A and B are shown apart, each in its own frame.
Chain A
């Protein structure tokens, strides 16, 4: 028997799945406190970037960690939502919350179309197919006028969130981004620990058996795919507003690779792993920025080391040591 992705996924036992286990509540509160005080010690722009990617990685983890599907095309959702949000805020003049919503809805729609076509395959085929669809989105973004081609959409206005919160204030912007991340995080957590999440796990473990029990496996997988795409879109829309920029970088396939790396580094199928992985990766990018192309080499080396010796990731190893699913 060959080991599969799920053998490295630290899944909670069914008994604790119904409610929030206490140690996870503690870890969650710790995370909230740390993130709430972080901007007073660290550069807020860096933190906001990391939060956007943390949400992106959490959304991605929903698929790989709990459905066992490796998507290599999640940049399509991040990037397209970024473009639509930026366009909505700049050209249509929508307030930030509606602009982000427009981007998120775009990603959801795109997720429905791509998911419906891709979900019929699995494993390497699924990875390849999502990659190919993401490339279609990429070339579409290169050619269409409204994306601004190589320049992207620049100088996206920030505006006032819900009419009251002035996003030009760095700290206001930070706490809005933090709130969006936490909402996304809780949605993913609830999805995983709901009956829906249990069915997803059943499908992951043994799809024919889940089908024979009467579950329409493809519907569940599609729903998980769309949810993952939607939350990736939420991350992309937020990111576009925070940096006032939507560019080709976010649709390029290397972005899809980066989110895989973040999730792998943090721990596939762990609750906190993707966020931890995102913070480590963005931190590395931040500190190694002067090194130029060395960054790619470091990323590649981390990938190789993770796959060869560190398949549980940071949080996965931690939860193995503590013997508690995190």
Chain B
């Protein structure tokens, strides 16, 4: 086995894992508080990439501005969706949340596909991050290293805020018992809205990071979201650290599968999911099913 190929796939695995982790983290945060599986997550990831593209084309704002503004825009869109639609479904079965967000995803993807077809639009790597390092055993493009490190920082930062700060404590308390937390004078509905906004902003941020690697494509989130669902199920729904760890490790496992048994690389995550569910129905890090 040539080490070149092995490390190359390891890097691709880490990149994919970074996106799995960021997306499943957003899903986990949303699921924890809203009990909704956000089917629109893939479409909003794609929207993030498109916002970056528009900022460059229409306003001349580059990658670094996009990294700040695109998540804000996607987060705002999420807040609007939550305020106008999702909010009406909280008293119903959680399945209706899934169905609603599925419909929203179809609309968003349809609109972009109508405008831009299904071919990718190029988005350049920012000049500061072009080039790469020769590590002797492999060539490491700077931008890819940046994506892995940056998403790791974002994921761990989110984990820190939720698990270690007062704000996070409110959030976790509201997950356990929203009525009681509300009785203590905390504005839970606003917290829910902001949580949804934050969760989808993570998806938008992932979209900006992905734009220079995968190009900007209306269908970029369609199949990705299904894999991310499997990642969330494996990690245990609602578990923050669980989704980060499983996101990165499943990306790496997928990368290695491409080296050793390429035929299974598309299915390996789903096979792992089936095996995990047989042994631990609540997922690796989940508490109850």
Q: Which A residues are within 8 Å of any B CB, using their own CB?
A: 2-5, 70, 72, 117, 120-121, 123-125, 127-129, 131-133, 135-136, 139-140, 142-143, 253, 257, 260, 264, 292-297, 299-304, 306-308, 311
Pick from B35, B104, B274: contact of A300, CB below 8 A: B104
CB distance from B108 to the nearest CB of A (A): 8
* Contact assessment for B233 and A128 in the assembled complex, using a CB-CB cutoff below 8 Å: yes
* Contact assessment for B93 and A3 in the assembled complex, using a CB-CB cutoff below 8 Å: yes
* Contact assessment for A129 and B233 in the assembled complex, using a CB-CB cutoff below 8 Å: yes
The range of chain B's interface size is 35 or more
Q: A-B pairs with the 10 shortest C-beta distances?
A: A303-B103, A300-B106, A296-B110, A297-B110, A300-B107, A304-B103, A139-B266, A293-B114, A307-B100, A4-B93
Give the CA-CA distance A108 to B62 in the complex, in Å.
Answer: 54
CB distance from B279 to the nearest CB of A (A): 12
B111 within 8 Å of A (CB atoms): yes
Q: Which residues of A contact B88 (CB under 8 A)?
A: 308
Pick from B105, B230, B267, B289: contact of A121, CB below 8 A: B289
* Contact assessment for A2 and B93 in the assembled complex, using a CB-CB cutoff below 8 Å: yes
* Contact assessment for B270 and A293 in the assembled complex, using a CB-CB cutoff below 8 Å: no
Q: Can you name 17 extra interface pairs (CB under 8 A) apart from A294-B110, A307-B100?
A: A70-B98, A121-B281, A129-B233, A129-B277, A133-B274, A136-B267, A140-B267, A264-B99, A293-B113, A296-B110, A299-B106, A299-B110, A300-B108, A304-B107, A306-B99, A308-B89, A308-B100
B244 within 8 Å of A (CB atoms): no
B278 within 8 Å of A (CB atoms): yes
* Contact assessment for B270 and A136 in the assembled complex, using a CB-CB cutoff below 8 Å: yes
B65 within 8 Å of A (CB atoms): no
Give the CA-CA distance A74 to B94 in the complex, in Å.
Answer: 20
* Contact assessment for A307 and B96 in the assembled complex, using a CB-CB cutoff below 8 Å: yes
* Contact assessment for A139 and B37 in the assembled complex, using a CB-CB cutoff below 8 Å: no
A to B CB contacts below 8 Å, 14 in the list: A3-B91, A72-B98, A117-B277, A124-B35, A131-B229, A257-B106, A297-B106, A300-B104, A300-B108, A302-B103, A303-B99, A304-B85, A304-B100, A308-B85
Give the CA-CA distance A117 to B274 in the complex, in Å.
Answer: 8
Give the CA-CA distance A127 to B93 in the complex, in Å.
Answer: 13
Give the CA-CA distance A303 to B93 in the complex, in Å.
Answer: 16
- List B212-252 residues whose CB lies under 8 Å from chain A: 226-227, 229-230, 232-233, 237
Give the CA-CA distance A35 to B35 in the complex, in Å.
Answer: 43
Give the CA-CA distance A3 to B221 in the complex, in Å.
Answer: 31
* Contact assessment for A132 and B100 in the assembled complex, using a CB-CB cutoff below 8 Å: no
Q: Which residues of B contact A123 (CB under 8 A)?
A: 93-95
A131-B278 CB under 8 A given contacts A123-B94, A304-B85:
no
Pick from A120, A129, A143, A296: contact of B106, CB below 8 A: A296
* Contact assessment for B230 and A132 in the assembled complex, using a CB-CB cutoff below 8 Å: yes
**Per-residue contact bits, chain B 32-66, to A (CB 8 Å; 1 contact, 0 not):** 00010100000000000000000000000000000
Closest to B115 in A: A293
CB distance from A218 to the nearest CB of B (A): 13
* Contact assessment for B93 and A5 in the assembled complex, using a CB-CB cutoff below 8 Å: yes
Give the CA-CA distance A286 to B106 in the complex, in Å.
Answer: 18
CB distance from A260 to the nearest CB of B (A): 7
Give the CA-CA distance A207 to B271 in the complex, in Å.
Answer: 29
B273 within 8 Å of A (CB atoms): yes
* Contact assessment for B270 and A133 in the assembled complex, using a CB-CB cutoff below 8 Å: yes
B1 within 8 Å of A (CB atoms): no
B92 within 8 Å of A (CB atoms): yes
Q: Which residues of B contact A117 (CB under 8 A)?
A: 274, 277-278
* Contact assessment for B85 and A294 in the assembled complex, using a CB-CB cutoff below 8 Å: no
